[in-house]
Amino acid sequence: MQVREAKTDDAMKARTMTEDATNQMRETVERIYRSESRQVLATLIRLLGDFEVAEEASHDAFAAAVEQWGRDGIPANPRAWLVSTGRFKAIDGMRRRARHDASLDELAKQLESATASIETEPQEDEPVEDDRLRLIFTCCHPALAPEAQVAMTLREVCGLTTEEIARAFLTKPATIAQRIVRAKAKIRDARIPYEVPAEKDLPDRLDAVLRVVYLVFNEGYSASTGSALTRHDLSGEAVRLGRLLAALLPDPEAMGLLALMLLQDSRRAARTSPTGELILLEDQDRSLWNQEQIAEGITLVQGVLSHGQVGPYSIQAAIAAAHAQAQTAAATDWNQIVGLYNLLLQAEPSPVIELNWAVAVAMRDGPSAGLNLVDAILKRGDLDTYHLAHAARADFCRRLGRTKEARASYQRALSLTRQEPERRFLELRLRELQD
């Protein structure tokens, strides 16, 4: 009906077309928002010197884009347009507010002269990529609490909303919001510089960044509470972050971490049953492993190993690769894996790695060798409250036919774990031993 009328009514026709065009432009801007908003924000933070001012400026720029691009067409370099518009809007806003606060006028002047050069500078990709790195390093700054680092990285670098982060970590949005607000206040008050650390600090600071990425990955990978779907996204985000880091900063450990995440993630479909039960590596249906991720992971590991610089993530990736390459559980090269754990223990001595090493030794030399090693670790008291240490001990005892001890250790492990599928797995083993 409306359409027919519009045919005879030029004004209405024109309006319908404008509405269509605006909607279409909104979609285009929406698409550009998804691909460019993080980069635009990262650059605006550098230019404007403040997270919140930059966020506001970025929002202004995208809002202006819907209007202006519809009229004038999409600019040749949308990102540069958005950055320049955002900067202009921020300075303009400061001017307007300066009517109430004279100090802002001065600030606006300073900003204008300090950032005037970007108008004439060619917009090359390189400085923009630097801005993304700056953003990552600032979000993962050690002066921020670890959970704040995670929240900041996911929101500012990955573009997740406060609510999405809260859902993924099973916390209230208000809690996450406060973490982010406090982190930003800390960055401002402590004058945490917006920069990629100097070379001498880089290894330590990169460690912190990689730790945050791996934390995000593990939160998604090993989490068993909450809906599997929402938590899965965290691992995906971590892999995306890992890719970004490896591309921006081709550090061997960044590559190693990406490889490790890909290789672990490749087993996702095989590690739980359709009813959500945990399936151990040796019992997994290997045809479900994602071969594409495995191939990419192995290539990355080989690249890192061939350069001779091997850090903890690369070694762990090499261990994961050894598993991925075994056609069957029985074909696993345990000798190679024991060797890699030895390397890992040297690179990063820790009781948990020692436990993994003990399990690998048990696979190579039999359960009694493993039992001796685990008992020695437990005797030191290091892993007394770590459920997997008791679960490993229980497994060795079970295989040795020491049922009573096995049962006691399974029970201890059960009392220490809070993860539902792990609980069910341990309960199943306990029931089997009672039969």
Partner 1 sequence: MKYLCLVYVEEKTLHAMPQQERIALSDESMAYCDELQKQGQLLAASPLHPVETATTVRVREGRTSTTDGPFAETKEQLGGYLLLDVRDLNDAVRIASRFPAAQYGSIEVRPLKENGCA
Enumerate binding residues for partner 1 (CB under 8 A).
52, 55-56, 59-60, 63, 93, 96, 100, 155, 161-164, 173-174, 176-177, 180-181
- Region class of 330: left (phi > 0), else alpha (psi between -120 and 50), else beta: alpha
Smallest gap from Cβ 110 to partner 1, in A, equals: 20
Enter the tokens of residue 235.
């691992």
Whichever of 183 and 317 has its CB closer to partner 1, that residue is 183
- Residue number with CB closer to partner 1 (74 or 98): 98
Q: For residues 92 and 348, which CB has a smaller minimum distance to partner 1 in the complex? A: 92
Contacts of 261 (CB under 8 A, 6+ apart): 213, 214, 217, 235, 238, 239, 242
CB-wise, 178 or 272, nearer to partner 1? 178
CB of 17 to partner 1, least distance (A): 21
Task: Name, in order, each residue with C-beta under 8 angstroms of 397's C-beta and a sequence gap of 6 or more.
Answer: 367, 371, 403, 405, 406, 409
Interatomic CA distance for residues 293 and 429, integer angstroms = 32
Tell me how far, at minimum, the Cβ of 109 lies from partner 1, in Å. Answer: 21
- We find the least distance from the C-beta atom of residue 195 to partner 1, in angstroms, to be 23
Q: Which two tokens stand for residue 384?
A: 């007394």
Q: Toward partner 1, which CB reaches closer, 104 or 326?
A: 104
Candidates 382, 359, 353; CA nearest to 372 is 359
Q: Tell me how far CA of residue 367 lies from CA of 102, 268, 396, in angstroms.
A: 76, 27, 5
> What minimum distance in Å lies between the beta carbon of 63 and partner 1?
4
Q: CA gyration radius for the chain?
A: 27
CB of 91 to partner 1, least distance (A): 14
Angle at which helices 202-222 and 252-265 pack, to 10 degrees? 0
Tell me the closest approach of the beta carbon of residue 62 to partner 1, in angstroms: 9
Nearer to partner 1, 50 or 251 (CB): 50
Q: How far apart are CA 39 and CA 132, in angstroms?
A: 6
Q: What is the DSSP string of 364-417?
A: HH-HHHHHHHHHHHHHHTTTTT-HHHHHHHHHHHHHTT-HHHHHHHHHHHHHH-
The closest of 21, 17, 18 to 7, measured between CA atoms, is 17
Q: For residues 31 and 380, which CB has a smaller minimum distance to partner 1 in the complex? A: 31
Minimum distance of partner 1 from residue 155's CB (angstroms): 7
Q: Which is nearer to partner 1, 48 or 362 (CB)?
A: 48
